[in-house]
Amino acid sequence: MWDKIILYSRKDMAGVNIKSILEDEYDVGNLVAFDDVLTLESLNRNPETLCIVASKHASKSGKPCLTCHSPGNYSTADYGGNPRELSYAPAFYLQKALQLLQEKQEREGINYEVSFESTHHGPTGLEQPVFFVEVGSTKKEWRDLRACSLAAEVINELLSYEPVKENKAAIGLGGGHYCRKFTRIKDYAIGHICPKHNLPYLDEVMLGQMVSKTLPQPDVALIEWKGLGKEKKRVTGLLENTGLEIVRV
């Protein structure tokens, strides 16, 4: 059983709103503030501490969304973390977070798209497993207390969640940043995802990190077959050396 803490950035409008709701409505106390979570290099915590980051999501599209993902960089480190380094991704917690976001979005009827995001940005060097629960994609949504309340409710429920290994853990490869096919999958708990635009940077080292840093160790590689593009042959060749079951989606 992991200890659990919630991280947020002091200048993150959505993160601060989620944090305030967790304190005021759920009496949550294990909240830790940083100037910028994305640039964290270490935490003075037991490695068996699950870190849930309450965060904003920003995108050029400006589309309202509720997302979750683990951090990591397949190439350069443009937004925190280290180049070519992935975090530890807790697959069953990611699956539960996505499920809860979907359930509560449907209950509330708010016009936000719920999705997995592929692995991106920092922090990458933590010893502890870490993932983000995000509200996006503009200041309008970051200020939306209904959306932030939904995210806070999800995080609060994750604090008492203990996984039962009903599904196989998996990694995902291919497709777009918002992983719409992987978002719909119910039979596998997905940790790290490498989208199509990062496949050129995927080699044995980075694939090895996807496997070794997805917790628990994955049994399956889910590949969005039509979303592999020209990397299809090379990526499937890399996967053949991992011993993972390859499942096309």
Is pTM beyond 0.95? Reply is yes
Report d(CA 212, CA 227) in Å as an integer: 24
What is the reported pLDDT for 109? 97
Answer with the one of 109, 129, 159 that is the final residue of a domain. 159
Residue 57's pLDDT is 98
Same domain, 137 and 209: no
Q: At residue 227, what is the residue type?
A: G
Query: Which residue type is seen at 189?
Result: A
- Sort strands 214-215 and 188-194 into parallel, antiparallel or unpaired: unpaired
Q: Are residues 71 and 106 in the same domain?
A: yes
User: At CA 127, angle to CA 126 and CA 133, rounded to 5?
Assistant: 55
- What tokens appear for 242 in the block? 């991992």
137 with 184, same domain: the answer is no
Which stretch of DSSP H or E encloses residue 170? Answer: strand 168-173
What range defines the domain where residue 174 resides? 168-248
Tens digit of pLDDT for each residue in 183-200? Answer: 999 999 999 999 999 999
> Among 159, 177, 192, which residue terminates a domain?
159
Judgement on whether residues 186 and 143 belong to the same structural domain of the protein: no
Same domain? 14 vs 101: yes
Count up the domains in the chain and report the number: 2
- Average pLDDT taken over every residue of the chain: 97
Helix axes 91-108, 145-159, angle to 10 degrees: 140
Final residue belonging to a domain, choices 99, 134, 159: 159
- pLDDT digit string (tens) for 32-78? 999 999 999 999 999 999 999 999 999 988 999 999 999 999 999 99
**Percentage of the chain surpassing pLDDT 90?**
96
Same domain, 139 and 181: no
Q: What is the mean pLDDT of residues 230-242?
A: 94
For 81-113, how does the pLDDT look when each residue is reduced to its tens digit (9 = 90+)? 999 999 999 999 999 999 999 999 999 999 999
Whether residues 146 and 176 fall in one domain: no
The alpha carbon dihedral of 136, 108, 53, 209 has a sign of negative
- Taking only the tens place, the pLDDT of each residue in 8-36 is 999 999 999 999 999 999 999 999 999 99
